[in-house]
Every structure is written in structure tokens, then in C-alpha cells.
Amino acid sequence: MSTMDQIIEIASRLDHLGTCAEWIARETVHTDNALSQTGTLMSVLSEDIRDRITNLVAELEQLAELEASH
């Protein structure tokens, strides 16, 4: 499995996690506040992880371009 395939798989799993977490937060907001807050936290964390991975990949691409130009 190539690096790009692995990144795409991670992004897909994070999307699924975020979607499930949002559903949990919505469905439990009136019945279980702690569970709803946990769902919201999971959603926020999955988005944060996705953003950090995207930034890391962009930085690695820039470094590779700089090395290739020297």
C-alpha cells in the first residue's frame, strides 16, 4: 500500500469517525448530556487530526520540492 493510499485511508476513517460522532452528539443531546459532549469532542478531535495530517503532508511535500531543486 502506497503512502498516498494510507493517507487516503486515514482520512476516510477520520471522516467516518467524525460523522458517527456528530450523529451520537445529535441523538443524545436530550437524553445523555455526557455522551453528547463526548460525541462532540470526538468530532472536534477527528477534524483536528485531519487538519494536522493535511498540514504535515503539505510540509513534507514542500521539503521534498526544496530538496529536489537543490
Per-residue pLDDT of the chain (70 residues; tens, 9 = 90+): 888 899 999 999 999 999 999 999 999 999 999 999 999 999 999 999 999 999 999 999 999 999 998 7
Half-sphere exposure (Cβ direction) of 19: Cα atoms closer than 13 Å: 6
How far does Cα 1 stand from its chain's mean position? Answer: 20
In the chain, where the domains are located: 3-69
pTM confidence score: 0.82
Grid cell listed for 25: 452528539
